[in-house]
Chain A
Amino acid sequence: MKYSYFPGCSLKGLGRSYEESLLPVMRHLGMELAELNDWNCCGATAYMSVDEGKAAVLAARNLAIAEKAGPEDLMTPCSACYLVLNKTKHNIADYPEINATVQRALGSAHLAYRGSVKVRHPLDMLVHDVGLDVVKEKVVRPLKGLKVAPYYGCQVVRPYATFDDAWNPTTMDRLLATLGAEVVPYPLKTKCCGGSLTGTVPEAGLRLTYILLKEAVRRGADVIATVCPLCQFNLDAYHDQISRRWGPTRIATVYFTQLMGLAFGLPPEQLGLKRNFIPMKPLQAQPTAA
């Protein structure tokens, strides 16, 4: 199965460990990924609130390049990029003015976008294209005894719940269960982590992060699995400030792909686990809360 791959800025920067774990896992499953040549920043959610037309053009350039590259499916692991590209597709299809702006701008770069690219999330691809049976076959080191809280964040389910339920998504739950982990019931799985508010309005943003961490610990999780670089960062990097403000919670947050890599027996050093602020306890160790 051949896919184009749009990493986005985060996966080459702060969210490096996402890419570091995602690519070997995908290779291990026989997925062919071709990183888009000369891709650009998608604009994230910020640019859309500044100038809708320009934001659409910025994001659409990636869609145009992907269309030219060949494979219909474009894997987009970062939640913000996933949402932005999908939203851009909708805007181009639903609003003729935006479409006109986009096509004109793309045209000046000798590009065009005809609407054929499918923006796919790795969870979607793993569960629906590869299939959990195939994933199970590759598991050589089941994550027995590891209690995982599956945290999806908001952008993969709102406003478009394209591959899972908006209120109670279960693709990652099922994937983690296939890896042998014990999936902890986690009602906050789509509750906002604070997003960029953790930087701009910390009292509000960090409080949201704190709520997620507290509940995960309360539910007995050893680790939180996430799909989004910003969620991972928020949940991982602010424990000092959070403990000072509200109370101690100490639990590691990793990417689900890192857990997949461990279960597949890939070398842990290659999965970027050392980049975490809060290290994940080694697999055999007993879980401890703060």
Chain B
Amino acid sequence: MNTNPKNGAVRIGFYICHCGHNIAGMVDCAAVALHIAKLPGVAVSRDYKYMCSDPGQELIQQDIREHQLNRVVVASCSPLLHEHTFRKAVAAGGLNPFYFQMVNIREHDSWVHTDRAEATAKAKSLSHAAVCRVRFHRALETTRVPINPDVLVVGGGIAGIHAALTVANSGKKVFLVERDPSIGGHMAQFDKTFPTLDCAACILTPKMSAVRSHENITLWTYSEVVKVEGYVGNYKVTVRRKPRYVNEELCAGCLECITACVFKEGKFPDEFNVGLSKRKPVYIPFAQAVPPVVVIDPERCLQVRTGKCKKTCIEACADRHAIDFSQKEERVEVQVGNIIVATGFKLFDAKRIPQYGYGHFPNVVTAIELERLVNSSGPTAGEIVLRDGRQPKSVGVILCVGSRDLKTNRWCSRTCCMHSMKLAQLVREHTGADVTVFYMDIRAPGKGYEEFYDKSLKEGIQFVRGRVAEVTDWAMAPEEEGKLVIRVEDTLAGFVRRIPLDMIVLAAGMEPQADSQEVRRMFNMSCGTEGWFLEKHPKLAPVSTFTDGVFIAGCCQGPKDIPDSVAQAGAAAAEAMALVDKGYIEQEPNTAYIVEADCSGCKSCLPLCPYTAILFDDAKQKARINGALCKGCGTCVASCPSGSIRQNLFEDEEIFSEIEGVLAYV
């Protein structure tokens, strides 16, 4: 059977890759090549060390020319990795790239089995199937889908800001959508950043300002994405704009309305200061907020809730008339070609570890709370104080709170060692207090990080290696009275210690955002087992997702520090820009098509397509598929009772031949 009735004599080139030791270590490649060589239609059958390398690809191209190959099969790694590579190689050799089939004998064979004989038999069987299948392949052309040049960035933290600026600087239009009333994210709450002890606000606010004034960026804060439709190059996104009750164009950021508010003092927990201070219903998140516009909390404002208020805020804004209680929620639609998701992280709730007393003992705080205390524009103007106002003389920092823990979160949150040492240095600098860091391991991998650890040691910060068992207030000795006592096994010293301290700081870890499952469904992404958004490949494609045109950057992909978030943001921007610059994306030609002569007009297929790519031609009484809308799932193909719907690249005969091939006894 070495002729395909459709295409004439078939001449197949078969190549099995050793992949160094990865495949050859478990599969007898030469034996597979020998077996395949005997199959009808196989003109060439070779094994080679690294098929994806240049010489490997040239081998294929040479054989195409010299042996007049019209089909190529490569047995190596996963097609998800190199199908594209080999298709290009085949095309460069002068053959239509879709005459190519790939066999996965690495991820699905040599890496997962332990018996050489079984692994080789499986490789033979899978290769046999591919050789049978490839006979039925036909020449196909990719279709080009135009890419809308605009880009949507979701999330206005440092990653989102950097991505937006990078794309906007290249001349493209960016929509930056942020759920909070201001951009800046968690970085805006920090005081200094490690390892340089740069002031976080000083390096962040210029970027925030640049976003605001950039002609190519449309900034929508206090807004959320609620629906995403379409596909790469052609996304239609619905954004819900929540009403601030303040007109952004008119507000000058003078804050008079806040002073004038009928609430004489702040009464509600201030989110930016993590509940350490109180705010009024009308507020600005922080002084350097972008946009520098106040916002009115609809759940706390008397006017919004009851309609009965003196509205002193409106009086205070008499000359600008920026306050507008008639504002309503708006839904806006934008068309974009690419989306970068940079929605960040959530902090682990330290109350889940009751042994550390958070929420029970007033002087147990989280690192972010201490960050706000240290910050000179924070609730205590930079004074590090206990709840009763005294300065602490001794501070303990507990690392890995919630992280690296089978009971809570398995992963390492990556930044806590560094930010805890930073806080330790700042506390020592501000107060001269004794600081002890309780750790399991110190992770300081970045540039200048190990030196920062040395600096901490030189400044006299104590490090105790041990997992803290509990923070308690029961005293066993006079010096422990009135203090919080940490009980910990000092593993390097070899005994259990009790250490009395004034203040305990918990380095609570990072977690995925609470609504990460809803968000990822909206963008057609996956989440990993731990809940972070799933990248296409952890090593080679950390910012792409399995959905073309949707990229991820920053902590939403996994815990990381600011340099890595910025790097990923730049990477995601570059990938988006590459698509935009090219202007089109080549769609895999695996679309469905209908053979009109066979269609009986039963309409079974019509309701099946989620992309409404199937239409009914009333005149001809037959179904028709719009190839531009078809995404190639094949659901309609499997359901057609008359078999008149076919799928390119996944024809029935191709799959039946593959089934036959794997079962042909080897």
Binding site for B on A (CB under 8 A): 165, 167-168, 187-188, 211, 214-215, 218
With a cutoff of 8 Å between Cβ atoms, the chain B residues found around residue A215 in the complex are: 474
9 pairs, CB–CB < 8 Å, chain A vs chain B: A165-B354, A167-B354, A167-B355, A168-B354, A187-B472, A187-B474, A188-B474, A211-B476, A218-B475
* Given A165-B354, A187-B473, A215-B474, 10 other A-B residues pairs in contact with their CB atoms under 8 A: A167-B354, A167-B355, A168-B354, A187-B472, A187-B474, A188-B474, A211-B476, A214-B476, A218-B474, A218-B475
Residue of A with least CB distance to B361 = A187
Shortest CB distance B470–A (Å): 9
With a cutoff of 8 Å between Cβ atoms, the chain B residues found around residue A218 in the complex are: 474-475
The 4 closest A-B pairs by CB, nearest first: A167-B354, A215-B474, A187-B474, A187-B472
Interface residues on B, range: under 10
Taken together as a complex, chains A and B put the C-alpha atoms of A165 and B354 apart, in Å, by: 10
Within 8 A of A (CB), among B599-648: none
With a cutoff of 8 Å between Cβ atoms, the chain B residues found around residue A188 in the complex are: 474
Shortest CB distance B493–A (Å): 20
With a cutoff of 8 Å between Cβ atoms, the chain A residues found around residue B474 in the complex are: 187-188, 215, 218
Residue of B with least CB distance to A191 = B474
Taken together as a complex, chains A and B put the C-alpha atoms of A189 and B476 apart, in Å, by: 16
With a cutoff of 8 Å between Cβ atoms, the chain A residues found around residue B355 in the complex are: 167
Shortest CB distance A154–B (Å): 14
Q: Mark B467-499, 1 if CB is under 8 A from A, else 0.
A: 000001111100000000000000000000000
Taken together as a complex, chains A and B put the C-alpha atoms of A145 and B474 apart, in Å, by: 23
With a cutoff of 8 Å between Cβ atoms, the chain A residues found around residue B476 in the complex are: 211, 214
With a cutoff of 8 Å between Cβ atoms, the chain B residues found around residue A214 in the complex are: 476
Shortest CB distance B397–A (Å): 22
Residue of B with least CB distance to A211 = B476
Taken together as a complex, chains A and B put the C-alpha atoms of A165 and B360 apart, in Å, by: 15
With a cutoff of 8 Å between Cβ atoms, the chain A residues found around residue B354 in the complex are: 165, 167-168
Taken together as a complex, chains A and B put the C-alpha atoms of A227 and B257 apart, in Å, by: 60
Taken together as a complex, chains A and B put the C-alpha atoms of A214 and B354 apart, in Å, by: 23
Taken together as a complex, chains A and B put the C-alpha atoms of A211 and B475 apart, in Å, by: 10
Residue of A with least CB distance to B473 = A187
Taken together as a complex, chains A and B put the C-alpha atoms of A190 and B106 apart, in Å, by: 54
With a cutoff of 8 Å between Cβ atoms, the chain B residues found around residue A187 in the complex are: 472-474
Shortest CB distance B186–A (Å): 29
Shortest CB distance B481–A (Å): 9
Taken together as a complex, chains A and B put the C-alpha atoms of A165 and B351 apart, in Å, by: 13
With a cutoff of 8 Å between Cβ atoms, the chain B residues found around residue A165 in the complex are: 354
Taken together as a complex, chains A and B put the C-alpha atoms of A215 and B477 apart, in Å, by: 11
Residue of B with least CB distance to A215 = B474
Shortest CB distance A14–B (Å): 28
Taken together as a complex, chains A and B put the C-alpha atoms of A211 and B476 apart, in Å, by: 8
Taken together as a complex, chains A and B put the C-alpha atoms of A167 and B473 apart, in Å, by: 15
Of B354, B355, B473, B474, the most chain A CB neighbours within 10 A belong to B474
Taken together as a complex, chains A and B put the C-alpha atoms of A187 and B355 apart, in Å, by: 11
Shortest CB distance B472–A (Å): 6
With a cutoff of 8 Å between Cβ atoms, the chain A residues found around residue B475 in the complex are: 218
Shortest CB distance B644–A (Å): 55
Shortest CB distance A289–B (Å): 15
Taken together as a complex, chains A and B put the C-alpha atoms of A81 and B355 apart, in Å, by: 27
Residue of B with least CB distance to A188 = B474
Taken together as a complex, chains A and B put the C-alpha atoms of A158 and B472 apart, in Å, by: 19
Taken together as a complex, chains A and B put the C-alpha atoms of A218 and B355 apart, in Å, by: 21
Within 8 A of A (CB), among B427-482: 472-476
Taken together as a complex, chains A and B put the C-alpha atoms of A168 and B472 apart, in Å, by: 13
Taken together as a complex, chains A and B put the C-alpha atoms of A211 and B473 apart, in Å, by: 13
With a cutoff of 8 Å between Cβ atoms, the chain A residues found around residue B473 in the complex are: 187
With a cutoff of 8 Å between Cβ atoms, the chain A residues found around residue B472 in the complex are: 187
With a cutoff of 8 Å between Cβ atoms, the chain B residues found around residue A168 in the complex are: 354
Taken together as a complex, chains A and B put the C-alpha atoms of A167 and B355 apart, in Å, by: 7
Taken together as a complex, chains A and B put the C-alpha atoms of A23 and B474 apart, in Å, by: 35
